[in-house]
C-alpha cells in the first residue's frame, strides 16, 4: 500500500497559520476531498482536503500549533488501492482559501462532479442548515459549497430536527453572516440537530468549538421546559483587544446574587408601579427624634419607619404576603410578617431579615436595622438571619436616584424600592407648596399579585408614610 503525506500548501501571503482543528483521528477512513486539517491565518480559514481516499496512519501536527512555511507535513494517509486517484482540484481548494480573496469565485463544474456523493451531500446540507463563515478568505469555501445549494434544499429535510431555529425579527435568516466554525464542529452540530447560529463561540475570535456545541446541548437539556424560546447565550468577548483588562473572581455573595437574580428574572412576570409619599411631616417628626436617638444610642433613619408602614400594609393586603406553591395549584399564605432589608456591602448585596416587624416598636426596629446592617457589612450574619423573609425593602435613599425597578426576591412575591426624597412643588388646591416627596417603586409577581392588589398596598403605604399617626389605627 502506498502512503501519501499531505503538506501545508502555499500560504498565500500569510506569514503564519495556526492549526485550529483536526477533524480526523488516526485509523479513520477518509474519502477524497474530506477535510483533514483546518488552518487559520489572520484573515482566512483553510481546509486542507485529502488528495487521496484512504486510511489515516499519522497526524503530524497538533491543534494550536503555529506554522510559518509551506510544505510542513500535516497528515500521512495509507492510500487505498482503488482510490489511488488524485484529488479533483486540490491545489484550487487549498490555494483558493489561502489566497484569501474577498471576491467569491465560481466552482468549476469538474469539481462538483468529482466529489463523492457522500461528501457532496454532507457539504450541501451543512450549508443549507448553517451558512458559512465570516473570514474574508472563506468566501471561496462558501462559493464552492454554495454550488450545491439546490441539492441542499432537497436534502435538508432528512436531517434531524433542530433543537430550535428562531427566525430573526425581520424574517431574515440569523445565519446570514457570522457563523465561524470548522467542518468537524458543523458535523457535530448536524448530528445533534443544533443550529450553529444559536451557539456562542468561545474559541479565538469567537470561533465555535465542539465544546460550545456540547455546552449548548447541555444547557438546553437542563433548561426548564417552557413554551418560549431559549435564552440566547451571551458570547465571551476578548476585551483585551480594546484595552487593558483583568479577570477577577466573583465573590461567593456575588455569585449567589447573580444566580438568584437570574432565577427570579426568568421565573417571575414582573410588574413595577410607582408612587411618591409625602414625607414632609414624617421627616419633621424624625428630625425631632434625633436627641432622643442619641440618648438611646439608636438612629431613627427613614428605613425603620418604612419597615413599620410596610408591615401594616402587608397585614391589610395579605396577597403580598404569599408564596406560590410549586405544584401550580396552591399558594402559601403567611401569617407572620418578616421583612428583608437589602444591605450594600463591600462583598456584595445581602438581605438580612427583620422578624415580626408588626410586633416591634420603631426604636426596636431602628436598633435592629443598625445591628443587622453592621453585621452584614462585617460579614457576620448567620444563615438564620437571612432566612424567612415575606417581603423585601431595598432602600437606595441615602445613595440617590429618582426611581428604579427592583427584582422580586423569590419566593417572596413583592419588593419595595425606596429612592431619595426630594422637595417638589405640590398643588394644595390654592397654590404650590414645597413638599418632601419620597419616590417608591413596588415590583410584584404578577402570577399571584394583581395590579389592584399592588395598587391598594401602595396607596395604603403612601397614606401611612404621609401621616404616620395612621400606623396606630
Active site residue ranges: 446
466 near ligand CAO, rule: CB under 6 A: no
Of positions 184, 396, 426, 463, contacts ligand CAO by CB under 6 A: 396
Binders in 277-316 for ligand CAO, by CB under 6 A: 301-303
Q: Distance (Å, rounded) from C-alpha 422 to C-alpha 401? A: 10
268 near ligand CAO, rule: CB under 6 A: no
Q: Given the complex with ligand CAO, which of 168 and 423 has the nearer CB atom?
A: 423
By CB atoms closer than 10 A (0-12, 13-18, 19+), residue 242 is: exposed
The 3-state DSSP class for residue 10 equals: coil
What is the pattern of x (binds ligand CAO, CB under 6 A) and - over residues 329-368? ------------xxxx----x-------------------
Q: Given the complex with ligand CAO, which of 24 and 350 has the nearer CB atom?
A: 350
Name residue, grid cell 449567589. Answer: 256
Q: Given the complex with ligand CAO, which of 320 and 354 has the nearer CB atom?
A: 354
Query: In angstroms, what is the minimal distance from the CB of 365 to ligand CAO?
Result: 10
Q: Which three cell numbers stand for residue 12?
A: 498565500
443 near ligand CAO, rule: CB under 6 A: no
The count of residues interacting with ligand CAO (CB under 6 A) is: 19
398 near ligand CAO, rule: CB under 6 A: yes
Query: In angstroms, what is the minimal distance from the CB of 255 to ligand CAO?
Result: 15
Q: Distance (Å, rounded) from C-alpha 228 to C-alpha 108? A: 45
Binders in 376-395 for ligand CAO, by CB under 6 A: 394-395
461 near ligand CAO, rule: CB under 6 A: no
Helix ranges restricted to H, 100-148: 109-114, 117-129, 139-146
DSSP 298-355: ----HHHHHHHHHHHHHHH-GGGGEEE-TTSS-EEEP-S--EEE-EEETTEEE--EET
Instruction: Work out the widest C-alpha separation in the chain, in whole angstroms.
Output: 105
Contact 315, 457 (CB under 8 A): no
Q: Distance (Å, rounded) from C-alpha 399 to C-alpha 323? A: 31
Query: In angstroms, what is the minimal distance from the CB of 265 to ligand CAO?
Result: 12
Distance of alpha carbon 430 from the chain centroid:
53
Query: In angstroms, what is the minimal distance from the CB of 381 to ligand CAO?
Result: 12
Query: In angstroms, what is the minimal distance from the CB of 343 to ligand CAO?
Result: 4
φ, ψ of residue 385 in degrees (nearest 5):
-75, -10
The 3-state DSSP class for residue 164 equals: coil
182 near ligand CAO, rule: CB under 6 A: no
Binders in 37-96 for ligand CAO, by CB under 6 A: none
Query: In angstroms, what is the minimal distance from the CB of 469 to ligand CAO?
Result: 21
User: Minimal CA–CA distance to 345: which of 378, 371, 368?
Assistant: 378
115 near ligand CAO, rule: CB under 6 A: no
For ligand CAO, the binding residues (CB under 6 A) are: 301-303, 341-344, 349, 369, 373, 394-398, 418, 420-421, 438
Amino acid at each position: 500500500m502506498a502512503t501519501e503525506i499531505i503538506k501545508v500548501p502555499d500560504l498565500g501571503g500569510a506569514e503564519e497559520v495556526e492549526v485550529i482543528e483536526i477533524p480526523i483521528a488516526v485509523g479513520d477512513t477518509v474519502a477524497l476531498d474530506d477535510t483533514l486539517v483546518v488552518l487559520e491565518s489572520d484573515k482566512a480559514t483553510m481546509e486542507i482536503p485529502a488528495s487521496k481516499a484512504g486510511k489515516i496512519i499519522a497526524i503530524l501536527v497538533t491543534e494550536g500549533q503555529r506554522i510559518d512555511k509551506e510544505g510542513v507535513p500535516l497528515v500521512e494517509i495509507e492510500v487505498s488501492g482503488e482510490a489511488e486517484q488524485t484529488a479533483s482540484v486540490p491545489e484550487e481548494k487549498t490555494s483558493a482559501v489561502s489566497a484569501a480573496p474577498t471576491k467569491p469565485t465560481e466552482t468549476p463544474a469538474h469539481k462538483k462532479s468529482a466529489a463523492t456523493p457522500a461528501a457532496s451531500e454532507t457539504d450541501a446540507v451543512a450549508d443549507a442548515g448553517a451558512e458559512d463563515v465570516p473570514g474574508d478568505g472563506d468566501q471561496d469555501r462558501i462559493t464552492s459549497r454554495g454550488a450545491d445549494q439546490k441539492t441542499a434544499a432537497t436534502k435538508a429535510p432528512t436531517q434531524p430536527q433542530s433543537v430550535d431555529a428562531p427566525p430573526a425579527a425581520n424574517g431574515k435568516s440569523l445565519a446570514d453572516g457570522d457563523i465561524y466554525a470548522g467542518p468537524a464542529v458543523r458535523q457535530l452540530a448536524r448530528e445533534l440537530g443544533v443550529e450553529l447560529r444559536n451557539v456562542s463561540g468561545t474559541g479565538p475570535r469567537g470561533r465555535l468549538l465542539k465544546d460550545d456545541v456540547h455546552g449548548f446541548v447541555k444547557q438546553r437539556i437542563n433548561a426548564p421546559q417552557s413554551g418560549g424560546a431559549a435564552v440566547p447565550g451571551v458570547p465571551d468577548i476578548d476585551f483585551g483587544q480594546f484595552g487593558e483588562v483583568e479577570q477577577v473572581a466573583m465573590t461567593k455573595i456575588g455569585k449567589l446574587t447573580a444566580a438568584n437574580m437570574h432565577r427570579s428574572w426568568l421565573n417571575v412576570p414582573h410588574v413595577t408601579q410607582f408612587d411618591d409619599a409625602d414625607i414632609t411631616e414624617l421627616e419633621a417628626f424624625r428630625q425631632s427624634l434625633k436627641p432622643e436617638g442619641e440618648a438611646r444610642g439608636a438612629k431613627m433613619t427613614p428605613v425603620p419607619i418604612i419597615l413599620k408602614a410596610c408591615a401594616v400594609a402587608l397585614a391589610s393586603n395579605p396577597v403580598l404576603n404569599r408564596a406560590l406553591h410549586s405544584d401550580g395549584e396552591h399558594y402559601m399564605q403567611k401569617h407572620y410578617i418578616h421583612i428583608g432589608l437589602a444591605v450594600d456591602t463591600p462583598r456584595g448585596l445581602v438581605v438580612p431579615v427583620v422578624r415580626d416587624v408588626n410586633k416591634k416598636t420603631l426604636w426596636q426596629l431602628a436598633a435592629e436595622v443598625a445591628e443587622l446592617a453592621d453585621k452584614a457589612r462585617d460579614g457576620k450574619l448567620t444563615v438564620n438571619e437571612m432566612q424567612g423573609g415575606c417581603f423585601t425593602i431595598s432602600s437606595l435613599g441615602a445613595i440617590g436616584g429618582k426611581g428604579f425597578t427592583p427584582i422580586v426576591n423569590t419566593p417572596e412575591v413583592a419588593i419595595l424600592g425606596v429612592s431619595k426624597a426630594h422637595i417638589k412643588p405640590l398643588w394644595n388646591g390654592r397654590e404650590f407648596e414645597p413638599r418632601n416627596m419620597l419616590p417608591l417603586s413596588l415590583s410584584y409577581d404578577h402570577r399571584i399579585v394583581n395590579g389592584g392588589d399592588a395598587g391598594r398596598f401602595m396607596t395604603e403605604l403612601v397614606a401611612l408614610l404621609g401621616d404616620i399617626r395612621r400606623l396606630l389605627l
